[in-house]
A = this chain, B = another copy of it.
Amino acid sequence: MELWQLGVGDIVGLVTGGQVSPVEVVRALLRRIESLEPDVQAWAALDPEGALADAERVAAGRTRGATQPGSLASVPFGVKDIFWTKGLRTAAGSRVLADFVPQEDATTVKRLRRADAVILGKLHTAEFAGADPPPTRNAWNPEHTPGGSSSGSAVAVATGMVPAALGTQTGGSVLRPAAYNGVVGLKPSYGLVSCFGVIPAAWSFDTVGVFARSVQDAALVLDVLAGYDANDPVTVRRPRVRYSRDALDGAPPRLGVVRDFFWERCDASARREMEQATARLSRAGATLEEVRLPACFSRIHAEHRLINDSEIAAYHEEQFAKSDDLYGPKIAGRVRAGLSHPATAYARALRERPAVIAEMLKLTTGVDALLTPATPTPAPQGRSSTGDPAFQTPWSYCGFPSVALPSGTSESGLPLGVQLVAARWSDRRLLRVARWCEAALDFRSRPPCWSAAYG
């Protein structure tokens, strides 16, 4: 096994056991990036010197025996280019911020560093985490979209450039690209992870998420990210949970299958994959029962859009008035739509949201998680669109945690997967269910660049 193929837990184990040095790990991944980056275009900025220096510091701390290495000892990370990184350009895929170098790390970046993770650089994002796509290619087929807005994060993890990466989801920006690239995408409960130092899209929904190649790796990262932050008023003080400490639970889960809307919107390949995936889960012992969406579901996409556009416009209004020519067409469309909304419509949308969420919450009663297809199709051809976030938006609106798991590939050789969803703050249970489903689905395919024959 090559070093670049190792997961988060593998690296931590080898490094803390002294079998591999932090610098070796970082060098191996920098080489991997060097060889693939021209093809996939995942990175907005790389910091090889900084990363190697950090790896040396981790190594030195360890060899000195001064302290135990952190829980993510020398695990290389990439972070979406909307997370502030001290001294490293954070352009958010935008010409507006082309020269923006933050003076401080985002809280999540700080937490990664404190756990001895090593930040290799910044990953391409759709402009301002919207829908104007970056140059990034799908890990499985360069003619297809990688999805967005966390495009680089998904592709970097899928191609073996990093074992884990940070992204964000406001509509469908973590789970969709995860599914399009065949990796695990985790969007925790709204408010579980600080958004301080993350350039906002729409703060009523913005959630930091994790890309990894296994549920356990995502849980190891969540252990470090989760928790109250005085700088983010959305976070709350809650008892600490070690998400990675839950062993694979023997008891098969009870899954609420959401066919309404979700199966209807699927193309033939996605529907076929869903049938196969549910059959495998069922054979492995899961109880699958159909749950029916409440009437209010039909309002969610429009309400999400109204709140989303209003907040995007609230953030960009001043800059947009000065230089709307610096904005891509899709984000500009969202800003213009948001500027047209009256306060009253936005106020009512926010006020009605808790009642809609309360209705949606009932879906989760009596099941361990909800199960839907992750996306209505595999990654669409072409790179002008980042694909359809419609399967993620409802859960972003509700603030419910969700996980995308790859489950198979389409006839065209693109990955497809499932989405698991739980009630807000049930992240621990969701990850337990996801671990179980991951084992039952047993998806082992990797994109072509994993083959020794590639390139």
Q: How many copies of this chain?
A: 2
Interface code A182-209, partner B: CB below 8 Å = 1, 0 otherwise? 0000000000000000000001000000
Do B233 and A347 touch across chains, with their CB atoms under 8 A apart?
Answer: no
Q: Which of A14-22, A77-85, A335-343, A383-391 forms contacts with chain B?
A: A335-343
Do B341 and A317 touch across chains, with their CB atoms under 8 A apart?
Answer: no
Residues in chain B near residue A170, CB distance under 8 A: none
**Nearest Cβ in chain B — how far from A424, in angstroms?**
12
Residues in chain B near residue A355, CB distance under 8 A: 233
A136 at the interface (CB under 8 A from B): no
A351 at the interface (CB under 8 A from B): yes
Q: A83–B299 Cα gap in the complex (Å)?
A: 29
Q: A317–B347 Cα gap in the complex (Å)?
A: 12
A344 at the interface (CB under 8 A from B): yes
Q: Which applies to chain A's interface (DSSP): helix, strand, loop or mixed?
A: helix
Do B339 and A339 touch across chains, with their CB atoms under 8 A apart?
Answer: no
Picked from B317, B344, B351, B358, the residue with its CB within 8 Å of the CB of A344 is: B317
A127 at the interface (CB under 8 A from B): no
Which size class do A's interface residues fall under?
Answer: 20 to 34
Q: Which of A306-314, A397-405, A406-414 forms contacts with chain B?
A: A306-314
Residues in chain B near residue A351, CB distance under 8 A: 203, 311, 314
Q: A213–B278 Cα gap in the complex (Å)?
A: 66
Q: A350–B203 Cα gap in the complex (Å)?
A: 11
Do B310 and A343 touch across chains, with their CB atoms under 8 A apart?
Answer: yes
A354 at the interface (CB under 8 A from B): yes
Nearest chain-B residue to A335 (Cβ)?
Answer: B344
Interface code A44-58, partner B: CB below 8 Å = 1, 0 otherwise? 000000000000000
Do A344 and B354 touch across chains, with their CB atoms under 8 A apart?
Answer: no
A346 at the interface (CB under 8 A from B): yes
Q: A317–B342 Cα gap in the complex (Å)?
A: 11
**Most chain B beta carbons < 10 A, residue from A314, A341, A344, A354:** A344
A241 at the interface (CB under 8 A from B): no
Picked from B203, B230, B341, B354, the residue with its CB within 8 Å of the CB of A343 is: B341
Query: What are the nearest 8 A-B pairs in CB distance?
Result: A233-B354, A343-B346, A314-B347, A310-B343, A341-B343, A314-B344, A314-B348, A313-B344
Interface residue ranges, A against B (CB under 8 Å): 203, 230, 233, 310-311, 313-314, 317, 338-339, 341-348, 350-351, 354-355, 358
5 contacts between A and B (CB under 8 A): A310-B347, A313-B344, A314-B344, A342-B343, A343-B345
